[in-house]
Structure 1
Amino acid sequence: MAALIHNHPTTAAAAASAFAFSPCFPRDPFLSHRSTNLHYLSKPEISSFLSPSRTKANPQNIRISPQFLQNPSISSSKLLNNSQLPNNDYSPLLQLSVRYGDIELAKTVHASILKLEEGTYLSNALIVAYIKLGRIDLAHKVFKAISSPDVVSYTAMISGFAKANRENEAIELFLEMRGSGIEPNEYSFVALLTACIRLLDLELGLQVHTFLLKLGFLDCIYVVNALMGLYSKCSCLDFVMELFDDMKTRDIASWNTVISSLVKECFYEEVFGFFRDMLRIDGFRVDYFTLSSLLTSAAGCFGMREGREVHAYAIKGGFESNLSVDNALIRFYTKCGSVEDVLYLFERMPEKDVFTWTEMITAYMQFGLVDSAAETFDRMPERTCVSYNALLAGYSQNDEGLRALKLFCRMVEEGAELNDFTLTSVLNACGSIMQKNTSEQIHGFVLKFGFGRNSCVEAALLDMCTWCGRMADAEKIYIRWPTNQDSSIPLTAMICGYARNRQLNEALSLFCVGQSEESLVLDEVTATTILGICGQLGFHKFGEQIHCCSIKYGLLSDTMLGNATISMYSKCGEMEDAIKVFNTMVVHDIVSWNSLLAGHVLHRQGDEALAIWMKMEKLGVQPDSVTCLFIISAYRHTNSDLVDCCRGFFSSMESIYQIKPTSEHYANFVGVLGYWGLLEEAEEIIKKMPFVPKSCVWRALLDSCRIHRSATIGKRVVKEILSLEPQDPSTFILKSNLYSASGRWHCSEIVREEMREKGFRKFPGQSWIIHDNKVHSFFARDRTHPQSKDIYSGLQILILECIKVGYVPDTSFVLHEAEEYQKKDFLLYHGAKLAITCGLLMTKPGKTVRIMKNILLCGDCHTFFKNVSVVTKREIHVRDASGFHCFSSGKCSCKDHW
């Protein structure tokens, strides 16, 4: 039962106190009725008990001076003065030594007892005293010196071993007692079950249960309470409930055990039902243990009303000053997001311990008040490892990675205790800042510290490596993961890591392996990650299967997963399915609305996106910065008459919605103006920006110059981009292409040589199709595909057929120095053309061919696809960086503006 109470969300001091006085464990079971329990007497009562009148029968009376009662550490040998208590009963003095923590008094009494003839009763009292004084070694010596230990002797030592983290010795001693023919009593079984609880030994617990049933001990409340504590600890709630239902008589500890078991298994609603039954059936008055469990339950189900009712009940019952209840109240109001109530409670608490201060740090961090949490930490009168960890974890959760690393260095310098939670938090913080060198240093420290084989730390190490781009190191950690440990956590981390580092095929392959080997259980995190990958790849069928599995396993109640499903369908070109998922969601957050808006913008459905925005306004949904980006972009896909509406929305962002426009908002607005040919106005907007524009704003204007073929403004824009990002690889490419376009081939080659020297590489254009649940990807002039010979032959025939209907290769898109025939050769084997040919060869006639591309579709490929739709009489859907293009009968849905 000590372990059961230890796991309850109360302070350690309160838990220890609960164990000492809890009715689930009888008081002083190892002393006979002859001893008077001095532990519950006041100092005057002790003086009276040892007064001369009480010891008149003995010629050598013990006289205790008032100085001893004021200061019990005075030499205890003088107290005895070679005398003896009446009837040689030294147990009151032993209890006195326990009360004042005076080990020297106990040793002196021990010495006096040794002069007497051996007596099991006094030896047992001595064993109990040493155990309570924390000297299990001395207690064991006394036990071994007893020639004929009885059930009390064995029980005392079994209990002592169980509480001193020597559980296996406790079990061995119980078996020794049974082997010697001594029958255990109810206290023996409570002690044995305590050892089982600490070891989480369910198998032995079941054997003890059978033995108890056979001997008829299941009528003893203390034993059943201990047995329920074991089953609760081992998450066997059904056994707990069965034992509870069969109890003829219950005490408050019985109710507390079953209520805390329900809390542990997250049956929060049932908790309050049992609480009402406790009051109605047995009429027990709640204690602080009950109230703490109820508050934990209310926090778990975010039951603000229930929690406030428990708070009122605590005040009515006189528990408003109870430290454990107040700490539980702080946790409850923190979970329910009521910062005012937390602060009010904290300020009014008459007593605060280190756990109270730590709870406040956790609360501030949850509310995002990082500086307040740091100030609270500095004000703490004393700190523990838990306090440091609360601050460290809070920094990590609030994306304050650098502050977390500084705190960790301070902990190391101050010699603070480091545990697996500490290292897990600092590894998460290191992952958040994504600095490879720093992550390698922390990795080395963890291995040197000796936590490298801890599963929690190993999982955090793996995750950190994936965030810092160290996938090779992450793979090494994953490969050496012990086979006897749960592999679902590292498997999920690797899948997410591959996705994060754009290794999408590897992520899907590993997911499929985990599913086939049944080593991975589909949860919200994994499903969300895989749906995100399916969306990026346009892998509709795979995403649809994950959606079905999510419904089957009841995961779609998770809002984040629902949002990922909307995004997946919209990116796969299935906007109707995305809308259906949105409409079936029980709860929508701002991300849900943004996902729907993003889908309409991606499909160039500006009117539909603006209709969604009007619906949001009617429902009173407050937009965020991302919402504004999509609303501005939507005006690009409506008509030019709505440009004034776009201007009005952009100008009112800060005044109406309290959202200050960023460079990204300006880039979208400039893109809309430029799209409708208002290039001069767009340029003027950039010049009047209240802050220095980022390159993305100028690039938006440059894109509009490309659409409208405005070379004059384009040259000015290029100069701005080159001055803003002279070292960006894309800027080098832009500069090189400009030199090539103007015929300055020597200058172009110098720029490219500089790129090679600096190690810069152009982000390669890639195109792919999905067929038979496989991704077939292509780069320009790619010959790595197994059917490349057939694809190239098919493309040559397709080009000839397109030329017959009017296709003329546009070599102006090839800007490097080359002969005309070389330019055509480069142009005709772009990755997008190879992908469309592969799709036509692999799919049945009449079927739509879907192509994905990671960059903008070039002008020549756009023209080529319009001709292919005429020649093949098929629809061709292409998703590039600007959105979806639907080619049909020689026309494109983008109206040649993309």
Structure 2
Amino acid sequence: MAAIVSLSTNPISPLSLLPPTIFFRFPSMPTNPSPSTPPPPPPHLSKTSLSLSNPNPCLRPFNSTSPTQFFTSPQHLVSLSEPLFASRSLNTSLSTIASPFDLLRLSTRYGDPDLARAVHAQFLKLEEDIFLGNALISAYLKLGLVRDADKVFSGLSCPNVVSYTALISGFSKSDWEDEAVELFFAMLDSGIEPNEYTFVAILTACIRNMDYQLGSQVHGIVVKLGLLSCVFICNALMGLYCKCGFLDLVLRLFEEMPERDITSWNTVISSLVKEFKYDEAFDYFRGMQLCKGLKVDHFSLSTLLTACAGSVKPMKGQQLHALALKVGLESHLSVSSSLIGFYTKCGSANDVTDLFETMPIRDVITWTGMITSYMEFGMLDSAVEVFNKMPKRNCISYNAVLAGLSRNDDGSRALELFIEMLEEGVEISDCTLTSIITACGLLKSFKVSQQIQGFVMKFGILSNSCIETALVDMYTRCGRMEDAEKIFYQRSLENDYTAMLTSMICGYARNGKLNEAISLFHSGQSEGAIVMDEVMSTSILSLCGSIGFHEMGKQMHCHALKSGLITETGVGNATVSMYSKCWNMDDAVRVFNTMNMQDIVSWNGLVAGHVLHWQGDKALGIWKKMEKAGIKPDSITFALIISAYKHTELNLVDSCRSLFVSMETEHNIKPTLEHYASFISVLGRWGLLEEAEQTIRNMPLEPDVYVWRALLNSCRINKNERLEKLAARNILAVEPKDPLSYILKSNLYSASGRWYYSEKVREDMREKGFRKHPSQSWIIHENKIHSFYARDRSHPQGKDIYSGLEILILECLKVGYVPDTSFVLQEVEERQKKEFLFYHSGKLAATFGILMTKPGKPIQIVKNVRLCGDCHNFLKYVSIVTRRKILLRDTSGFHWFIDGQCSCTDYW
């Protein structure tokens, strides 16, 4: 009895399911003499279950979990070594015993490798049986024991086509593609002709290896043997050509097929979707529906829902959802996941939430899809809440949250999650490292960037293309340009150069090295290293917009038109943004109106352009058009529209309040800290500082640094010292380690004359590796960028610029300009304060523009920080004495100085 109990450790052992006449005795069991009378059969087995009409009752499992409940009498145990089992003619005994084939089937059904190995052990003692050998190979492969299957195959003296095919298929599905290819050629060398299953198996290996060359050779053999009419082989060939990106071959093979099944149609549809040919994919789907005997399956629906999301076609997606409900596939996990992806792109957060809550079955993929969806909608708290509720998590779930936090600029929480992953032993992948490197770039912390760099180097995967590119981006964001250049110029040759080149170009621009950015782009073009695809075109158009390089932006627009890239929504959006940032809203509106398809990003870009130009009324006009067109606004839309109320001609605060409330009541978008910051700015714009303070105190969220900065800026313009000090104290409390907080603290000490403490703060800042982003202004003249810093004399024409500025200052003083030395926060004499004030970067840039451009031509200046009050006042007087338009863009928007007036109405 004890020996029998030790036979199995599984809850249900296949051995426990055998009838009494086939329960084998293993060597560990004691031998027993035959009793004089056989025991009666167990009560739950009737006589009919043992009759010849049902020779294999073991295939019907009993409702039991214990092997000891069955046939424990010794006389029911038959040795595996007895002649009955050893007979080659196994069929003669199937009426009284279970064949080894039945045992192998049981071992695979219940995942019992010991039973398969027991059969294997006896197989080795018997005369070779190719059929049993093939069954053993198949059983081992189903159990995931590839090496055991290989050993059985190696022991066969004359393997046949079934033997080869089974092992080739097993190798292909177990990431042993090279072994599968080697075995396939060994099969050909042995003179055995492959069958259709063999070709499917080797093509599977080609698909996994993306080996187009070998696949095309196999295609030739198939044609030579006349097997191209086999549906399975054609499907496998189409799958290979799809994976390798040869859509034309997929379509040609599909059209030549004499017979097609649902897999054939699904393969061609998915191939078209992969190449973004969404309309053609729907055409083939309609053709499939006309075929008799074919029914849409979960793969068809999942693929087409992906097409609807990619092409932003909400109506078609909703029709597919209705079809899924009609055919009963809406609860299939792959369809449910695809529906979540579709409504994330073409619906609202409510649509996704409702779908998720009605799903009868959820797996880790659907939970992760829900996290990704919330992250796409900017609902970070909801995404984290779903993550915390997950019954089971894996590294992909963690990576979804990590990537979402990084994508939504929440570097602090991303770093916390990464530390949690390390503590819990979660698998760290390339995706994990790429996301956390991106998050550290957002934090802009020199020290944290060093720690992450060390962590990555410890992993030894610096040669990974995505990680190297992310490191370059992180270094540039943390001001470590030398480290960024080191990785860039020592990169692995096989890595993607274009992505890293884009990061380096943007990094130069981010750190004020504008000429280096343009020079690197041109050198990449001349070397042929840049592929002007959608991604690169979008990046360079964005760069031109950031720099204010109008001429180069127009050239990129022309290239996009000639290459057809302008039809891509992303490129069109980048073009709209570029023109709006280059003082050209007319062309921005024109490009927007000619776009083939506009998504919410397109509408947001147009609204943002009007807000940047202080055109609040026009921005609100776009908002009304969106409502009439039924465009669903997102969180960014509301942040922009709220900001637009700051720049309207009339006080429309009441309308702004109503909009703020309607966000949640009508659109189910909860106000975020960004919305509150915009609303505080609007209240400050119209002098409602007390209401702004009360709004902050009543916020359901903890105010962040941006909310307090919005109040601080409003107080400075409205001259409210009490609230200014309150805002400053809270900024220091919320983000004490932020470089801007150090600067603010130092300036507060300076403003109160506490120069010693001011210098101590700056010294502490330098010791911790924080650095202030230097104020920089630039002008583009004759397609070259001329940059200036405060008191900068490095320009080749510096002497002429300073001489011209001194004359300009004298002329402005004559017409009423009074320098405001309160903006100089250094412990120096009044005379020195004026010298510091006179040579700010904006004044130097304006002087250069006046000297180098023809009379009457506008001066266009870009500044990387907010324009100070004294420079703003000075440029108004410059526009009077020179009779020139001075157009300046800073981080708050555009300032058009004309005849002593500014378009911002002195509120910015």
2:100 pairs with 1:93: yes
Are 2:183 and 1:173 aligned? yes
Residue 197 of structure 2 is matched in structure 1 by 187
Letter in 2 for 1:235: G
- In the TM superposition, residue 563 of structure 1 has moved relative to its aligned partner by 5.6
Is 2:594 aligned against 1:587? no
Match of 1:547 among 543, 547, 557: 557
Q: Indicate the residue corresponding to 1:480 in structure 2.
A: 490
Q: Does 1:258 align with 2:237?
A: no
1:884 to 878, 895, 898: 895
Deviation of 1:773 after TM superposition, in Å, equals 1.1
Tell me whether 1:869 sits opposite 2:882 in the alignment.
Answer: yes
Native 8 Å contact 1:809 1:824 kept in 2: no
CA 1:244–1:472 in structure 2 vs 1: closer, same or farther (change >3 Å)?
same
After superposition, the Cα gap between the structure-2 partners of 1:275 and 1:79, relative to the gap in structure 1 and judged at 3 Å, is farther
Distance apart, 1:171 and its partner CA = 1.5
Partner of 1:163: 173
Map Cα deviations across residues 394-416 of structure 1 (whole Å, 9 max, x no partner): 55455555554444444433333
- Unmatched segments (≥5 aa) in structure 1: 1-43, 56-61, 636-641, 674-681, 706-712, 740-746
Uncovered stretches (5+) of structure 2, i.e. residues with no partner: 1-43, 71-75, 92-97, 665-670, 698-702, 733-740
Distance across 2 between alignment mates of 1:342 and 1:522: 36
| Inter-partner Cα distance in structure 2 for 1:329 and 1:794 | 65
Q: Select the residue among 771, 795, 804 that pairs with 2:781.
A: 771
| Preserved contact between residue 505 and residue 521 of structure 2 (Cα < 8 Å) | yes
1:530-564 residue CA offsets vs partner (Å, 9 max, x unmatched):
44544454322122223333444455566676565
**What amino acid does structure 2 have at the position aligned with 1:459?**
T
Deviation at 1:205, TM superposition (A): 0.8
Q: How does 1:602-617 map to 2 (within 5 A)?
A: none
CA distance in 1, matches of 2:422, 2:165: 43
CA contact (8 A) 2:134 2:162 kept: yes
Q: What is the rounded CA distance, in whole Å, between the counterparts of 1:536 and 1:652 in structure 2?
A: 33
One-letter amino acid matched to 1:884:
H
Q: 1:212 to 1:343 in 2, by over 3 A?
A: same
Deviation digits for residues 647-698 of structure 1, max 9, x if unmatched?
766776657888899566555655566xxxxxxxx88888988759957656
Aligned to 2:134: 124
Contact (CA 8 Å) 2:153, 2:163: kept in 1 or not? yes
Letter in 2 for 1:493: S
Q: How many angstroms does 1:202 deviate by?
A: 0.8
What's the CA shift for 1:729? 3.7
Of 871, 878, 882, which aligns to 1:858?
Answer: 871
Give the CA deviation at 1:246. 0.9
Pairing 1:147–2:161 present:
no
Residue 84 of structure 1: aligned partner: 85
The aligned residue for residue 627 of structure 1 is: 641
CA distance in 2, matches of 1:140, 1:894: 79
Within 2, Cα distance between the matches of 1:807 and 1:339?
58
User: Structure 1 pair 840/77, CA: closer, same or farther in 2 (3 Å)?
Assistant: farther
Following superposition of structure 1 onto structure 2, how do residues 678-827 of structure 1 map, counting pairs within 5 Å?
691=697, 694=708, 697=711, 700=714, 702-703=716-717, 729=743, 757=763, 766-791=776-801
How many corresponding residue pairs?
A: 806
Write the distance in 2 (CA, Å) between the matches of 1:64 and 1:694. Answer: 75
* 1:807–1:863 contact (8 Å) kept in structure 2: no
**TM-score scaled by length of structure 2:** 0.73
Which residue of 413, 428, 433 corresponds with 1:418? 428
Cα deviation, 1:187-233, whole Å, max 9, x if unaligned, reads 33222212211211111111221222233221222222221221122
Structure 1 residue 242 corresponds to structure 2 residue 255 = no
Of 202, 211, 214 in structure 2, the residue corresponding to residue 201 of structure 1 is 211
Question: Per-residue CA shift, 1:746-767, capped at 9, x if unaligned?
Answer: x687677557655689876544
C-alpha separation in 2, matches of 1:116 and 1:716 = 97
Cα distance in 1 between the residues matched to 2:577 and 2:153: 70
Determine the C-alpha separation between the residues in 1 that align with 2:692 and 2:363.
57
Structure 1 residue 771, shift from structure 2 partner: 1.2
In structure 1, C-alpha distance between the alignment counterparts of 2:264 and 2:403, rounded to whole Å: 36
CA, structure 1 residues 116+825, in 2 after alignment: closer, same or farther (shift >3 Å)?
Answer: closer
C-alpha distance 592-777 of structure 1, shift in aligned 2 (>3 A): closer
In the alignment, is the contact (CA less than 8 A) between 1:563 and 1:595 conserved in 2? no
Q: Which has the higher contact order (CA 8 A, sep 6+)?
A: 1
Distance 1:756 1:390 in 2: 39
State the SS of the aligned residue for 1:458.
Answer: helix
Structure 1 residue 245: Cα displacement? 1.0
CA distance in 2, matches of 1:879, 1:246: 61
Tell me, yes or no, if the aligned pair for 1:139 and 1:157 is still in contact at 8 Å.
yes
Distance in 2 (CA, whole Å) between partners of 1:767 and 1:357 is 48
Q: Percent identity?
A: 47
Q: Which amino acid aligns with 2:554?
A: E
1:110–1:126 Cα contact (<8 Å) kept: yes
Q: Distance in 2 between matches of 1:403 and 1:80?
A: 65
SS of the aligned residue for 2:779 comes to strand
Q: Does 1:597 align with 2:610?
A: yes
Return the offset for 1:169: 1.8
CA distance in 1, matches of 2:121, 2:691: 95
Q: Distance in 2 between matches of 1:576 and 1:722?
A: 40
SS of the equivalent of 2:291 reads: helix
2:501 corresponds in structure 1 to 491
8 A Cα contact 2:653 2:682, kept in partner: no
Tell me, in whole angstroms, the C-alpha distance in 1 between the residues paired with 2:889 and 2:322: 59
- Seen in structure 2, the aligned counterparts of structure 1 residues 592 and 182 have a Cα distance that, compared at 3 Å, is closer
Instruction: Say yes or no: does 1:212 pair with 2:186.
Output: no
Change (3 A) 1:777 1:458: closer
Give me the whole-angstrom Cα distance separating, in 2, the residues matched to 1:609 and 1:316. Answer: 43
1:346-425 pair list within 5 angstroms: 351-363=361-373, 365-366=375-376, 377=387, 380-397=390-407, 401-425=411-435
**Which region of structure 1 is more displaced relative to structure 2, 521-530 or 162-171?**
521-530
Instruction: Report the CA distance between 1:451 and its aligned residue.
Output: 3.8
Deviations 1:10-39 (A, max 9, x none): xxxxxxxxxxxxxxxxxxxxxxxxxxxxxx
CA distance in 2, matches of 1:131, 1:579: 62
State the alpha-carbon separation in 2 of the partners of residues 306 and 614 from structure 1.
Answer: 26
Is the counterpart of residue 510 in structure 1 residue 520 in structure 2? Answer: yes
Which residue identity lines up with residue 272 of structure 2 in the other structure? L
3-state SS of paired residue (1:624): helix
Q: Deviations over 1:426-453 (max 9, x none)?
A: 4444444555444443443333234433
TM-score normalised by structure 1 residue count? 0.74
Separation in structure 1 between the aligned mates of residue 345 and residue 202 of structure 2, nearest angstrom:
37
Q: CA deviation at 1:832?
A: 5.2
2:785 is paired with a residue of what secondary structure?
Answer: strand
Paired residues of 1:575 and 1:599 also in contact (CA < 8 A): no
Counterpart AA for 1:629 = S
Secondary structure of 1:156's counterpart equals helix
